[in-house]
Amino acid sequence: MKNSRFGVQFVFRKPKGATRSVLPIYLRISAGGQRTEVSTRRSWQPVRWDATTGRAMGTREDARTLNAYLSALQTRVYDVYLQLVNAHQDVTAEALKDGLSGVKKSGRTLIPIFQRHNEQLAKLVGAEFAQATLARYEDIRRTTLVSTNWIMSL
């Protein structure tokens, strides 16, 4: 699913029991058969909304300002899409949402880092470190691995 198709649209989400004439606008991102929604932090009147284009109707200043904001938001989603494709990462609705909000997911976890440290330390046993030092670090890694697996099983 590296280079999947995706869609972007702006929709209203009516809160339960809402009788207001102004509703919040959400950005709906669909990719890979999944979808997610992100608040645009803007509200608008549904009677002044063109559902076909997903934009505010009219030429008044408030409509032009909202449409410019929504267009900029849509452009940012397309930019995130291109970044994912160029980085050869999976294009998913969540990945687009995370990229839009600036969330970076780190691939580094404690166990692989500890394992690499121990491998480097093993090369230095006899020259700079004693075998007992390596054994202590291996015990710590093993204990951490067991603890992590125990926590994950909860």
Q: Which residues contact 98 (CB under 8 A, 6 or more apart)?
A: 104, 105
Q: Measure Cα distances from 6 to 12, 34, 78, 95 in Å.
A: 20, 9, 10, 12
How far is the C-alpha of 67 from the C-alpha of 73, rounded, in Å?
10
pLDDT one-digit tens code per residue, 68-79:
999 999 999 999
**Tokens for 67?**
């449409």
Q: Which range is least confidently modeled, 5-9, 10-14, 17-21?
A: 17-21
In this predicted structure, the answer to whether residue 104 has a pLDDT above a threshold of 50 is yes
DSSP bridge pairs for 25 = 12, 42
Backbone angles phi and psi of 107, in degrees to 5? -90, 0
Q: Which of 133, 106, 104 is nearest to 117 (CA)?
A: 133
E-only strand ranges, 4-131: 6-12, 23-31, 34-44, 49-50, 55-56
pLDDT one-digit tens code per residue, 15-32:
777 677 889 999 999 998
Could you tell me the pTM of the whole model?
0.65
Q: Given the structure tokens 């990462």, which residue do they identify?
A: 89
Phi-psi region of 29 (alpha: psi -120 to 50; beta: other; left: phi over 0): beta
